[in-house]
Structure 1
Amino acid sequence: MHRSSARLVAPGVTYGEFRMTVPRGIVHGHLLTVDLADPRVSVDLLYPGAVGARAPVSLLAAERGAVGAVNGDFFNITETQHPGVQATGASVGPAVASGRQLKGAVPDGQRFGPAMPPGATTEDVIGVGYDHRARLDRLTLRGAVLTAGGTLPLRGLNQYALPVGGIGAYTPQWGTVSRMRATCGTDTDRAAPCSRETTEVTVRHGRVTAVEDVPGSGGVPGGGVVLVGREEGARRLRALEVGEPVRLVSRLAGRGPVPLRFAVGGFPIVRDDEPVAGLDTVAVAVRTSAGTGDGGRLLYLMALDGAAGQTGLTVRELADLMVELGARDAMDLDGGGSSTLVTGDRYGATVRNHPSGGAERPVPNAIGVFSAG
């Protein structure tokens, strides 16, 4: 591998390029190295103000004044298998921004993206805790809908897909996109038909204001929540009456000792300096990855270049690359036409790689790097 001299983008943040030769040709990559031990540096989720919305990484970075960013999670990009149902643009895994828990993970069978290795789930994330250290973790939704007649289990939070028989909550952070997609597919088959048994309940200021048979669209008012149920969840919601008191409790529970202030979904490809078992060794694509090193004090953000004449990597090759770059643990993020790495200054954000589609693809979220220096 040939690596260019890294240049300082901002205090604690450097940018560099590298080239490597594989049997198929030349791989060109772009790397941001983030020193989280520097108190001036921070990392956060970039997103366009709503879970069900998309925007180019350069725009997300420029609007927040980020000094660097890469695209984030895989997302609900198309709905060709459900005619008439709107693709939400929402991401697959959990998301936490500035300490705010935005959404939970869809069922494994509802995800978009390459096959995950054995043992991985849609709950897997990479994030930075309140201890200022990056780590891989897993965020599980724990929650309930408290009603006058009893407690209903909460199985989703601002998700484009709900578990069969489940109830999901949609807050103002969801946005205005239709909630119909949440009742399509099954836990094991994303292409399965939409459920024929659904209910949507609107709650304002702790009281039920409407009970409908079909999930709707439009923004959720401040102080309100919309509950969507399918199958058994729909039947239980249908028992609620207008005026009945309802309260929602939810949290994303992690495995680490310190809560995550920022988190984005993906799937693990490196743990403890070694590629995880079962990674794909066949499909070649432009890819994005995020990794950690030095006990979580270093964060590596990498995107391959999609310019004509250059090749991509398999997921297994990506894992080997991240180890070579210094990552002890690493995640695979959305790739292909989504792969984008930018650097920013007071004049805006500059796209450093060539997106494989010829232009930036709007994405639901990105990892943003900030420096107070």
Structure 2
Amino acid sequence: MSRYFLAFVICFALLALIFSGCLPSSRALAVSGECEHLLPGGGLSMVTGVRFETYPEKVRIVFDLTSSTTYRVSQMHNPPRIVIEIDNAHVHEPCTGEPCVGEPPQVLSVDDVAVRAIRISQVGGDRVRGVVDLRYALPRCQVFTLEDPDRIVVDVPKQYMEQRRLTIASGVKYVQIDKGTSLGPVMIDMLDVDLNNPKISVRTALAQESGFGRAPVSAIVAREGAIAGVNGVYFDSTGRPLGLIILNGQIVTEPVLGRTALGITRDNKVFMDNVDFNATVTVIPASTSTPGVAESGSEGQDAATTFAIDGINRRRGEDEVILYTPFFGATTGTNNYGVEVAVAGGRVVETGNSNLAIPREGYVLSAHGKAKKFLTGLKPGDQIDIRLGLTNDWMEKGVIYAVGGGPRLVANGQVSITSTKERFGPDIALSRAPRTAVGITGDGHLLLVTVSGRRPDISIGMTLDELAEFMVQQGAVDAMNFDGGGSSTMVIRGYVINLPSDGVERKVSDAILVFVEESGLFDRAIQ
């Protein structure tokens, strides 16, 4: 699939929702066309050879001639190629140069990310055709002539940048970026969200309305009624997020390894920081009138005790205390090797060893191994007080939505990649891959970015270093990485805008969604 065809599909989908002519006509950078040039002089010319040289920024192709003549150059999209028609010319026979040219058409292979091969042949009577087969659509090539000896020179560009902007709602712009590098093309899609606009809000959402699971980003966007969204944190095979999730002011899953997270308040203030989990339980037996003071004759626990919670809504590990809330599902799903108490209204309502039902307006505490001592002996009526917090006081700052990820990419406007500190493996830290990222600008805009990848002829993806540099170039003062690879997805108005590397949307655990109070359609494209 060419970038031109992909662009056509994207633009056609968006045009179905907006006024005709609102979008640029294609994502491709090259422009089909034909032009004629004249080398001074006249008479029959011989093409004595074709040669090329590769550079980081271009491929230079040279057609050697015995004399000047007219020629025409056409550049096409699908398939991507450049055609040079040389008039009043023959291929040189016998061949004296490398590669040999003549009949049948000769092919010169080019080991380059942008150019696949060069073909030359005699066509018609006195006309020679040279075809440069490109691996993907490119901006218009530069063609010029040189004398002594006569030559036609074709410079095929590899480094370029072109972007188009489209306002999809008041305060929300979509930016489409095509970038050429010495390693291949990169396709970037970005949402620029103005958080200063009171009609805009950004929230997190899980794949399912209750319990953990997986769903395409497009399904989450549709269910929640958002205008757009991207995928968020990493997740396991069950769809449980592997990192911080806060929904409606409630911590759904705890941070992992103190990694970077994004927090959002009700009034659109945003925070980006390394976040640790800080949660405790205080147990006050019903027979204790004063916390910490035991009454004689009480059974089981007879004094208030406080201990730490190790995690929320995940599988219970050895010697751990885990808190299960209704976000997890109907029951804890635990084995028989623990002690559990169900709590509603701040008091124990049920005890057991495994798989307790989670009260709709409460929670279950589940302990294993050495931690069982904290819950052993509790009985209905005992008072339970839990305190859930984060080490950077986000809850006190009013954060009601948050999503983890990592590593950090940008801090204070400078590239600052924390892969080692946050203990990311080489598959994330060192690879070139599809990416999803979020950035915060100095003027209160949120940048949601996806980079397509793993398709050498369309987009090769980015390293974290390249992604961080890009976020700085876009004005981010803080930025972080999210789950990438096949998970990277951007959806606008129900359409998948990027090119998921799996070929279809991957089902993910959660998404970051953009909501706008609006009544109109797309605005026209901003050129």
How has the CA–CA distance of structure 1 residues 64 and 277 changed in structure 2, closer, same or farther, with 3 Å as cutoff? closer
Structure 1 segment 131-280 matched on structure 2, within 5 A: 131-147=267-283, 148=285, 149-160=303-314, 165-176=319-330, 179-180=333-334, 198-214=338-354, 216=355, 220-252=358-390, 254-255=392-393, 258-267=397-406, 268-277=408-417, 279=419
Give the counterpart of 1:342 among 471, 482, 491. 491
Q: Distance in 2 between matches of 1:129 and 1:253?
A: 17
Name the structure 2 match of 1:65.
Answer: 225
Structure 1 segment 301-340 matched on structure 2, within 5 A: 301-306=448-453, 308-309=455-456, 310-340=459-489
| Alpha-carbon distance, 1:176 to partner | 4.3
Question: How many residues get paired?
Answer: 328
1:286 aligns with 2:434: yes
Aligned-residue identity in percent: 30
Name the structure 2 match of 1:361.
Answer: 506
| Alpha-carbon distance, 1:162 to partner | 5.9
Structure 1, gaps ≥5 residues long: 78-87, 109-120, 184-195
Q: Distance in 2 between matches of 1:293 and 1:235?
A: 49
Q: Distance in 2 between matches of 1:177 and 1:339?
A: 32
**2:504 partner letter:** A
How has the CA–CA distance of structure 1 residues 342 and 277 changed in structure 2, closer, same or farther, with 3 Å as cutoff? closer
**2:171 partner letter:** G
How has the CA–CA distance of structure 1 residues 63 and 324 changed in structure 2, closer, same or farther, with 3 Å as cutoff? same
Higher RCO (C-alpha under 8 Å, 6+ residues apart): 1
| Alpha-carbon distance, 1:19 to partner | 1.9
**1:291 partner letter:** G
**1:356 partner letter:** S
TM normalised by structure 1 equals: 0.79
| Alpha-carbon distance, 1:178 to partner | 5.5
How has the CA–CA distance of structure 1 residues 319 and 51 changed in structure 2, closer, same or farther, with 3 Å as cutoff? farther
Q: Deviations over 1:83-113 (max 9, x none)?
A: xxxxx3211222222333333224x2xxxxx
Q: Is the 8 A contact 2:410 2:417 kept in 1?
A: no
Name the structure 2 match of 1:82.
Answer: none
| Alpha-carbon distance, 1:200 to partner | 2.9
Q: Is the 8 A contact 2:168 2:174 kept in 1?
A: yes
Q: Is the 8 A contact 1:167 1:233 kept in 2?
A: yes
Q: Distance in 1 between matches of 2:455 and 2:417?
A: 31
TM normalised by structure 2 equals: 0.57
| Alpha-carbon distance, 1:163 to partner | 7.2
- Computed over aligned residues only, the root mean square deviation of the Cα atoms, in angstroms, reads 2.7
Q: Deviations over 1:125-174 (max 9, x none)?
A: 11222442323034443333232132332324534256763312111122
Q: Is the 8 A contact 1:154 1:166 kept in 2?
A: no
